[in-house]
């Protein structure tokens, strides 16, 4: 009984500390609940979502108090500000990427200056409510007299013990709700719903470190396991009509920034959004069920997929985390047969660590911003506008030794889709989304730039002996613009199936002098490397990878997305639900189970190859 007054006294002395815990807890819960689209259903899931932030908040406060026992009021302000910054960063990142921030992303803070335009466009006045508790705590600290009290070590120890207990309870509850959540799932929304964004940051960091540690232990046995898995799959039956159809030709690989398939053959105010691409698609091999498979690395992930037949990483970008790996890339293999591989991009050469990664991939030359004449008139957003970019690139292409493999990366159609008035070629569209409204004009500008480029290539005498491969690199319109997208597509509301189908991006393979056709094979960016090699008459594909020739007579009808969802010719699996494409409705999950296991195997083995740097053990072996 003699300790009761001390407990009560402690409660009075540190009432502000408990209030801080409550305020930070509530702001984190409300941010999770109303800023993120988390799959919450029923009271039990709601309870887990509610309690999930508390353990991380207690741990942050407890660790801060270890160093600031006598100045605990400063500790609570630090934690309040830090949690607000992390929440704000997550809100902005989620709006753009529909994903949650990770440590590798935070470590790329040196690039904030280059993406400021996107950040400014994403901000909302209500976002700053994540600092409302900070303002209130500062006022209370200044007006309070108890801040001189010292927090006892036992008090801190109890706080940390309570945090660990809550965390263990949280993990157990989440695992019971979704068995295998932390060992088998690729759905980050489920993980964040179960343990909160703060704990997810730690979970992802530990998981990534564990995966990277395998590099040291990896050996030839791991290669044998992966090769055995790849050998068990179907081998491509090459179409003899298509094989070698573009043999000896120059290759133009053109990355169409943020271009999704839904804009093709669509009009605004009676005018086509993509008149040139519409015509080109009719005169080419056009793949209308082609999906982007990118992760956090976006454009760089698309490049990686195409050049290596490997999936991007579940967290971070391979261009940053594994630029020193050995990759049996498309440029390296083409170089062996006399091709000269180059990249042309009107942005800073160090952005996305491209200068290092391109060297690793085997490119002979990288034409970056320093190789172009860039000023205020011919640049917008992220760099050189597409029309001057293509205009200035033609002279560089003419000077290349032939045959060449030239990758050209466009920029103008990048979030936040800003464009000068004189460059807007479409009537305005009002979809209650500034982002979507602007998107149509930057897409139209890119389409015009492509039309001019093809004319210039013909004038330069490079057209007839080339093959042109144009692909969308990733989505441009995030899920949060669902209402505006529904209006544009003439629907009342977009379903989960609709959102997955919107991950389709254009793929156009144009071979001058060859009549094309529309091909509805389900495919993805990972399939381009073997397709290009077979068109050029090369029957072997070096390295470990998961792609299939798009023209193969037995092409697997499946596209695996980085988050673990997938699309086949009959089913779509997304958000841990199985949908039938034919009737656009949820169906028996058992129908998707065999493909789900296959999708996770592919992602697992791809991660194993990258984290273990397994390609270093190969010596130009065929996959």
Place of tokens 């093959």: 467
Residue 259 preceded by cis peptide, ω within 30? no
Residue 203, Cβ neighbours under 10 Å: how many?
Answer: 19
Helices (DSSP H) in 14-71: which residue ranges? 15-35, 42-67
Helices (DSSP H) in 399-514: which residue ranges? 434-459, 482-489, 496-501
Q: How far apart are CA 606 and CA 524, in angstroms?
A: 15
Bridge partners (DSSP) of residue 574 are: 577
Nearest-5° angle of CA 173, CA 179, CA 182? 85
Q: Residue 311: which residues within 8 A CB-CB, separation 6 or more?
A: 293, 295, 305, 526, 546, 560, 562, 602, 603, 606, 607
Q: How far apart are CA 334 and CA 341, in angstroms?
A: 8
Residue 128, Cβ neighbours under 10 Å: how many?
Answer: 12
Nearest-5° angle of CA 339, CA 342, CA 343? 150
- Nearest CA to 563 among 295, 305, 311? 295
Read off the DSSP letter of residue 570: S
Active site residue 102: no
Q: How far apart are CA 292 and CA 305, in angstroms?
A: 9
Question: What are the Cα distances from residue 607, in Å, to 316, 474, 604, 611?
Answer: 12, 20, 5, 6
Q: Residue 454: which residues within 8 A CB-CB, separation 6 or more?
A: 276, 280, 463, 468
Question: What are the Cα distances from residue 78, in Å, to 71, 105, 459?
Answer: 11, 22, 63
Instruction: Give me the count of residues in the chain.
Output: 623
Q: How far apart are CA 556 and CA 229, in angstroms?
A: 16
Quick one: the chain helix, strand, coil %, rounded to 5? 55, 10, 35
Q: How far apart are CA 397 and CA 466, in angstroms?
A: 12
Q: Exactly one of 28, 185, 274, 299 is catalytic; which is it?
A: 299
Bridge partners (DSSP) of residue 250 are: 466
Which residues are known catalytic residues?
A: 299
């Amino acid at each position: 009984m003699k300790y009761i007054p001390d407990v009560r006294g402690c409660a009075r002395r540190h009432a502000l500390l408990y209030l801080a815990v409550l305020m930070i807890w509530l702001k984190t819960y409300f941010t999770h609940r109303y800023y993120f689209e988390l799959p919450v259903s029923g009271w039990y899931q709601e309870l887990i979502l509610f309690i999930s932030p508390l353990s991380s908040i207690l741990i942050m406060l407890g660790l801060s108090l270890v160093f600031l026992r006598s100045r605990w009021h400063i500790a609570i302000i630090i934690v309040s500000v830090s949690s607000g910054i992390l929440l704000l960063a997550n809100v902005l990142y989620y709006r753009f990427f529909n994903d949650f921030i990770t440590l590798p992303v935070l470590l790329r803070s040196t690039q904030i200056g280059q993406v400021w335009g996107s950040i400014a466009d994403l901000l909302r006045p209500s976002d700053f409510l994540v600092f409302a508790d900070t303002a209130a705590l500062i006022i209370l600290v200044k007006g309070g007299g108890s801040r001189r009290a010292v927090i006892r070590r036992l008090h801190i120890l109890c706080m940390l013990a309570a945090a660990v207990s809550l965390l263990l309870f949280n993990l157990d509850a989440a695992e019971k709700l979704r068995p295998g959540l932390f060992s088998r799932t690729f759905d980050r929304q489920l993980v964040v719903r179960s343990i909160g964004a703060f704990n997810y940051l730690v979970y992802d960091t530990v998981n990534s470190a564990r995966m990277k540690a395998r590099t040291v232990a990896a050996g030839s046995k791991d290669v044998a396991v992966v090769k055995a898995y790849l050998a068990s799959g179907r081998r491509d039956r090459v179409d003899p009509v298509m094989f070698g159809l573009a043999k000896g030709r120059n290759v133009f690989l053109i990355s169409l920034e943020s271009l999704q398939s839904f804009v093709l053959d669509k009009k605004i105010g009676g005018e086509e959004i993509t008149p040139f691409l519409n015509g080109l698609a009719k005169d080419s091999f056009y793949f209308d069920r082609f999906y982007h498979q990118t992760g956090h690395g976006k454009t760089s992930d698309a490049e990686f997929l195409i050049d290596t037949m490997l999936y991007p990483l579940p967290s971070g970008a391979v261009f940053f985390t594994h630029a020193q790996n050995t990759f049996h890339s498309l440029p390296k293999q083409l170089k062996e047969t006399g091709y000269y591989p180059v990249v042309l991009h009107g942005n800073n050469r160090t952005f996305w660590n491209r200068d290092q990664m391109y060297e690793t991939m085997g490119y002979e030359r990288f034409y970056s911003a320093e190789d172009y004449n860039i000023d205020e008139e011919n640049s917008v957003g992220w760099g050189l506008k597409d029309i001057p970019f293509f205009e200035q690139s033609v002279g560089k292409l003419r000077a290349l030794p032939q045959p060449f493999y030239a990758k050209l990366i466009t920029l103008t159609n990048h979030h936040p889709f800003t464009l000068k008035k004189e460059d807007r070629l479409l009537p305005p569209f009002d979809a209650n989304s500034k982002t979507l409204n602007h998107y149509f004009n930057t897409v139209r500008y890119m389409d015009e730039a492509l039309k001019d480029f093809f004319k210039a290539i013909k004038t330069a005498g490079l057209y007839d002996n080339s093959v042109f491969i144009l692909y969308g690199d990733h989505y441009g319109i995030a899920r949060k613009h669902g209402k505006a997208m529904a209006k544009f597509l003439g629907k009342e509301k977009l379903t989960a199936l609709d959102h997955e189908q919107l991950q389709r991006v254009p793929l156009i393979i144009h071979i001058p002098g060859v009549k094309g056709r529309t091909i509805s094979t389900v495919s993805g960016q990972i399939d381009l490397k073997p397709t290009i090699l077979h068109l050029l008459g090369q029957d072997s594909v070096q390295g470990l990878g998961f792609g299939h020739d798009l023209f193969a007579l037995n092409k697997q009808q499946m596209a695996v997305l980085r988050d673990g969802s997938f699309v086949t010719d009959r089913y779509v699996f997304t958000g841990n639900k199985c949908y039938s494409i034919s009737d656009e409705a949820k169906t028996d999950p058992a129908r998707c189970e065999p493909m789900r296991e296959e999708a996770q195997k592919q992602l697992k083995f791809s991660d194993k190859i990258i984290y273990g740097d397994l390609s270093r053990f190969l010596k130009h072996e065929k996959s």
